[in-house]
Structure 1
Amino acid sequence: MDNRTGEIEAFLRTVEGGSFAAAAKTLRQTPSAVSRSVARLEARLGVRLLTRTTRSLSVTPEGDRFRAQAQKLLLDLDELERSFAADKSEPRGRLRVSASTPFGIHQLLPALPEFLQRYPKITVDLSLSDALVDLVGERTDVAIRHGPLRDSSLRARKLGSSRWIVAAAPDYLQRHGTPQTPADLEQHNCLNFNYRRSVEGWTFLAGARSRQYHVAGNFMGNSGEALRLMCLGGAGIARLGDFLIGADVRAGRLVPLLQNYLKADSEDVHALYIGHARLAARVRVFMDFLVERVSLPD
């Protein structure tokens, strides 16, 4: 990197790590060298990007604005260099992918060996988390997300829809009975997520309209896979996607509940990526592979 991009990288890593020392470890430099790089950047821009005290660093409003633009700049530069360095006849390079834990375990990981056999010069860097990922900030190439799309700056390809299933283990139903209507869930232990979702509550049909029911229980988790395992263990009733517990229902490990109230309840699944005029070959072939091998039925 030249001096300018190196100074920008030093600034971004300092903000990311919260200190010059943390940035120095990432960049394999000394803290004083990182500090000097940031100082030169501030001098050239004519603005203060960081507020320094003896105990901490904080980002100024100007620094926050510069950070957002600088992250995109370095990402674009990275893409440009990779596109020229890559062998055009065979996609290659690191492909950073983010997906929810259950989707990754039950849909993506079973298909990835085939993808890697097709494209042996691509290295897949997969992160599984139910938390939303900032594609630009985290330098992620593709993120698989569930529910309504909110970021209009990203491009998306729909992989399908996953209908919701409310289910419980046979053991739980033997001990607590089977709910006949959504209102009966007030008398049951319902397993839920511990983070804010696009739609709060569980959605059921009430006549011709949909209605949200707020449920409660003694377990909350940050992963659909965690809720699935608790549900299989007889801890309570869960509302999860067909892609996650459909096989458990078909095998009899879980019993579907309130099916007449769930006919219209589903969640779209998209693969999101940052739109460039020339999409990197490794991203293009992965998107095509997802549509081919990991698509869900609508």
Structure 2
Amino acid sequence: MARQDINRSGEMEVFVQVVELGGFSVAARFLRMTPSAVSKLVARLETRLGTRLVNRTTRKLLLTPEGRTFYERSVGILADIEEAERSAANLDDPRGLIRINTSAAYGTHVLAPLLADFLETYPGISVEVVQTDLVVDLLAERADIAIRAGAMRDSSLVARKLGETPLVIVGSPAYLARHGVPKTASDLEQHSRLGFGYVRALREWSAPEGETIVQVPVIGRVSASDGEALRHFAIGGAGLVQLAQFTVAEDLKAGRLVTVLDDPRTRLSEPFHAVYVGQGGHLPARIRVMLDFLAKHGRVS
């Protein structure tokens, strides 16, 4: 039975370098080993194999016939190992399924317009997208990447920041025509404030009241589980809502929504992150290329 403590591929790599570089000393420098360590390793290899692999002289190293055969077979085996490792890591051609759990707003306004370019760039990758604003357990949901707003709190997760976006309070022209345009925080008491149907990090709106800034609770007759639903409710005239600016940029441009109480002193912002489990150096290539793609093309502002 073969001994379990023998690093055969390591022995082969050292021997191949000795042959290709033409000596123990130069191979030792290349491998960051001592010449004596390289010499002893080759000697142990010869003892284990029961045959001489090289004839050493003071000026050069000559392979025996057995050494030539062992060298040629070692080169092929090491190449096979490298190819197997590259195939497992998908370094040349990332493949497989990526499961992305994203907020509805980011999925609709940022990810959806980018996805075709990503799929064209990486034809071996397929993507499954689940849109929810609720914070999920990545492992339980079998998600590779979650895209979330707000500060990072779970230290077991790793994150790539995708930018930071201002939060704006908006309403439809029709709603504001019926209920008036609020000028101060006190005016918001007369308005329906559309809110999220779950606890969020930002639970109140900041609004100016004279020279001071006050926090206004979100109280209204309508709540929803995601920002996209609230955006549509606001467009339909159900009330005012505070959302990330990038999610309503087209609505503001088209006049479907308008901002209110847009005071630079009260303008909050919210960071977005691509969150994943595990350190970047150990990520499958399919996930690594998606994270790099989002960091370059999927930023918010």
What is the TM-score normalised by the length of structure 2? 0.68
Question: Is structure 2 residue 238 aligned with structure 1 residue 235?
Answer: yes
Deviation at 1:134, TM superposition (A): 0.6
**Paired residues of 2:184 and 2:209 also in contact (CA < 8 A):** no
Question: Is structure 2 residue 269 aligned with structure 1 residue 278?
Answer: no
Which residue pairs with 2:125 in the alignment? 122
**Paired residues of 1:166 and 1:256 also in contact (CA < 8 A):** yes
**Paired residues of 2:185 and 2:214 also in contact (CA < 8 A):** no
Which residue pairs with 2:197 in the alignment? 194
**Paired residues of 1:205 and 1:261 also in contact (CA < 8 A):** no
- 3-state SS of paired residue (2:234): helix
Which residue pairs with 2:162 in the alignment? 159
CA distance in 2, matches of 1:174, 1:221: 24
Structure number with greater Rg is: 2
Deviation at 1:261, TM superposition (A): 5.7
CA distance in 1, matches of 2:273, 2:209: 28
Question: Is structure 2 residue 186 aligned with structure 1 residue 183?
Answer: yes
Amino acid at match of 1:232: I
Larger displacement relative to structure 2 (206-215 or 120-129): 206-215
Task: Map Cα deviations across residues 103-142 of structure 1 (whole Å, 9 max, x no partner).
Answer: 1011101100100000010111111111111112222111
Of residues 273, 291, 295 in structure 2, which corresponds to 1:291? 295
Matches within 5 A, 1:10-29: none
Amino acid at match of 1:285: V
CA distance in 2, matches of 1:284, 1:207: 49
Task: Map Cα deviations across residues 232-278 of structure 1 (whole Å, 9 max, x no partner).
Answer: 01111111111111211122111100011665401000111112342
Amino acid at match of 1:123: S
**Paired residues of 1:203 and 1:213 also in contact (CA < 8 A):** yes
**Paired residues of 1:91 and 1:282 also in contact (CA < 8 A):** yes
Which residue pairs with 2:217 in the alignment? 214
Of residues 160, 169, 173 in structure 1, which corresponds to 2:172? 169
Percent identical residues? 43
**Paired residues of 2:203 and 2:218 also in contact (CA < 8 A):** no
Unmatched segments (≥5 aa) in structure 2: 1-83
Residues 151/205 of structure 1: CA separation in 2 closer, same or farther (3 Å cut): farther
CA distance in 2, matches of 1:273, 1:82: 23
CA distance in 2, matches of 1:180, 1:208: 13
Deviation at 1:229, TM superposition (A): 0.6
- 3-state SS of paired residue (1:123): strand
CA distance in 1, matches of 2:237, 2:90: 53
Residues 82/182 of structure 1: CA separation in 2 closer, same or farther (3 Å cut): farther
Deviation at 1:292, TM superposition (A): 1.3
**Paired residues of 2:172 and 2:257 also in contact (CA < 8 A):** yes
Residues 264/111 of structure 1: CA separation in 2 closer, same or farther (3 Å cut): same
Deviation at 1:211, TM superposition (A): 3.7
Which residue pairs with 2:111 in the alignment? 108
CA distance in 2, matches of 1:116, 1:229: 29
Residues 143/82 of structure 1: CA separation in 2 closer, same or farther (3 Å cut): farther
Amino acid at match of 1:91: P
Query: Over the residues paired in the alignment, what is the CA RMSD in angstroms?
Result: 2.1
**Paired residues of 1:185 and 1:215 also in contact (CA < 8 A):** no
CA distance in 2, matches of 1:251, 1:220: 25
Which residue pairs with 1:247 in the alignment? 250
CA distance in 2, matches of 1:158, 1:87: 25
CA distance in 2, matches of 1:91, 1:218: 48
Deviation at 1:183, TM superposition (A): 1.6
Amino acid at match of 2:178: R
Unmatched segments (≥5 aa) in structure 1: 1-80
Deviation at 1:206, TM superposition (A): 6.0
Of residues 133, 137, 161 in structure 2, which corresponds to 1:134? 137
Matched length: 217
Deviation at 1:205, TM superposition (A): 5.2
